[in-house]
Amino acid sequence: MKTDTSSPKLTQRQTVLRAMELRPADPWPRGTGHVPLGIPGSPIAQKGYHEPGGSFSPAPGSFGISVWVIGNDGKRIATSDDIPLEEITQRYVWTDSSPMPSLVTETPYYKCTWSLDAGRWTFELEKRAADNSIAILIRSVGPTGGPVESLHTDERQIIINHRWVVSLEQSVCRVYLGDEETPGWQTAMNQLSEWTGANGWGYARLILSADASRLTLTVRDTAPQFRSPLTFSTVKTAIELDIPDKKFAASLNAQAANLMMGFIGKQTCPGEPINYPLAWERDGAYSVVAMARCGQMRVAMDLAEYFAENDFFGGFGAEGDAPGSTINAIVTVAILSGDRDFQERMWPHVQRKTRLIAEMLDAKKPLYKPWIGPIVPAHIEKDCIPVICQPEKDGLIIGSMDLHYPALYINAFSYRGLMQAKRLADVLGKPKEADEFTQLAQKIRNAWLAHFEDKEYYNERTFMSALWPTWVIDTDFAPFQNAIASRWEKIQKHGTYPTRPLWTYFTAAEAHQWLFIDRPDYVWKTLEYFFRNQCSPGLFTYWEGKGEENSFGGYENIRGWVNPPHVTPHYWTAAEMLLLQIDMLTYVNEAGDEPVLVIGGGVPSSWLKHTLTVNGVNTSVGKVDWMYRNNRIDVRIHGTKKCRVRAGTGFSEFTEIHVTMCSPIPSN
């Protein structure tokens, strides 16, 4: 029969959606809670994708591996794609033998683990229900599947599309090949050693032998593998904790791991990298700071180079918050690293970016700047893409951000950038420049304070930037406290969030303001909301928006994630959560003329029944270790300048604080 060439060719997403309509009784990927797994800095082609239950794809556009539970009657009971989330537990596990975490999944039917080492994935499964059997399905659909057009097997290995090799470490399976579009394919026992089909619906069904309770298989990509340009020894935070709240500790490590595994080369993606195949300054700046604060200093330094060398990049083009935001990120890394050579290399870039801030503040007409990288397709024709600011008004920079002009947000970050530039100038012995930066910063701050209550400048972004991370106000600035309290009562409803927040990074950042205002009770209500509403339970991943926010269309070429509920993981949220949790343990109050080190600002009183140990928190006054025991806090500051130290409000007013100054520790 002649093919109708007039019909447009279906995308892979459309192909799957059509198949789901034609075969509604067949199992299909869960399509929720996927997590990229891969070596930090590896290209996207080397990232695996995992969905709750243990379903897995070794690369975008590859294939899917899922677990099927079969009853004694031969009927399918459940699959890794449809076991209810409340029956699934997941966690990252680290061992001394690998810097990468393994991802462990437990269900009522099986326990399975995915691990990455030396360019190959290892899958280990342990059957739990003796009266059921287990099948492993290799299909074209999966978290990030693709057409399966050829399969070859010799019972010990399966070669997929002449590229991927799936090997069994022991002969405990019967292997059946076939075509999903053939009726009865789920139970067919074709005695085939190879299968080919242009429709891309090939499958391999591996049935675990009745007397076997364990299975190990490996997945290897025969395509060339590229080494990461990032420097790291482990994929988690370097902060050491001994606290009673295991979920808090697990989240801290998971956020660092999720961030690191999402890095592509020396670039940060704002969110899951198939949806967001680009670096975006605003989101990435938080990731850079998070790496520095959690002890991944070499990674932070590697990433900071891109932010230093480039002034404007991201899906909305040139934006007005970029100079201040970028200065904050690279100076944070420079100061925390203590690396003089790195500090000096950053200096000319910092100077250049401060001139951009001054230029915006003096603008008499709209300023246009070039940018690098792609623009979100839906917004590519918008006139505001190259505009970093409109003419100055009321002493404020009318800068662009998120396709509009949230002036107080822009000025808060411009203030922060200038104050950070001043700090680097102090370190490098440049008093003239330090004084110039301070004067310009104070001018911006005065305008910010004068117009905070003007309705013209009201914007929700003000409430995720005024204290954290910019310190444009003091913690006792009453107008801000009143305004954010009003928002809490109106929007958050005491942390219950009756309306699911779309921009989770805003929500996390607003909680950070409450930490600095000494309201850890509000912080915990937000944190507990996030813990209860993880996209991938146990892996502490969160969401952005509704549907494919700012999509570049990458999933049109994928056989998976066909009905996305949101973007996840979102790396700005991961960075915000990581930084919030770190600051709950240890932060520096920068509101006054002299810094104040706050120990345990987010520590609840319920923890104080236990000995608490927190080691290795990078702060602007040095690396900090502390221990709480018997109403006493012992603090070690590895730095050169003494500062005032106080305890968080969760501690008793009679808690003793003993501070020891130690020699600085070289950055790792």
Q: Quick: pLDDT tens for 571-622.
A: 999 999 999 999 999 999 999 889 999 999 999 999 999 999 999 999 999 9
Is residue 471 within 8 A of residue 412, CB to CB? The reply is no
* pLDDT for position 493: 65
What is the maximal distance between C-alpha atoms in the chain? 88
Strand partners, 389: 367, 399
Secondary-structure percent of the chain, ordered helix, strand, coil, rounded to 5: 30, 25, 40
> How does DSSP classify residue 431?
H
Report H helices in 81-164: none
pLDDT below 70 — which residues of the chain?
Answer: 1-7, 493-495, 666-668
* pLDDT for position 380: 94
**How far is the C-alpha of 278 from the C-alpha of 281, rounded, in Å?**
10
* pLDDT for position 666: 66
* pLDDT for position 668: 60
CA 345 to chain centre: 28
**How far is the C-alpha of 252 from the C-alpha of 264, rounded, in Å?**
21
* C-alpha distances in Å from residue 432, one per residue of 105, 263, 424, 438: 58, 38, 12, 10
Strand partners, 120: 117, 220
């975490």: which residue's tokens?
A: 101
* pLDDT for position 495: 61
């269309």: which residue's tokens?
A: 553
Three-state SS at 537: coil
* pLDDT for position 540: 98
3-class secondary structure per residue, 562-628 = CCCCCECCEHHHHHHHHHHHHHHHEEEECCCCCCEEEECCCCCHHHHHCCEEEEEEEECCEEEEEEE
Residue 590 C-beta-side C-alpha neighbours within 13 Å = 19
Q: With residue 390 as reference, give the H or E element that holds it.
A: strand 387-393
- Give φ, ψ of 628 to 5 degrees: -110, 130
Among the listed residues 474, 323, 329, 483, the one whose alpha carbon sits nearest the alpha carbon of residue 410: 323
Q: Which amino acid is at 110?
A: Y
**How far is the C-alpha of 543 from the C-alpha of 33, rounded, in Å?**
9
pTM beyond cutoff 0.75: yes
Is residue 410 within 8 A of residue 404, CB to CB? The reply is no
Strand partners, 619: 622
* pLDDT for position 143: 98
3-class secondary structure per residue, 245-277 = CHHHHHHHHHHHHHHHHHCECCECCCECCCCCC
Show the tokens assigned to 275.
Answer: 């949806």
* pLDDT for position 497: 79
Strand partners, 51: 55
Report the 10 Å Cβ neighbour count for 159. Answer: 17
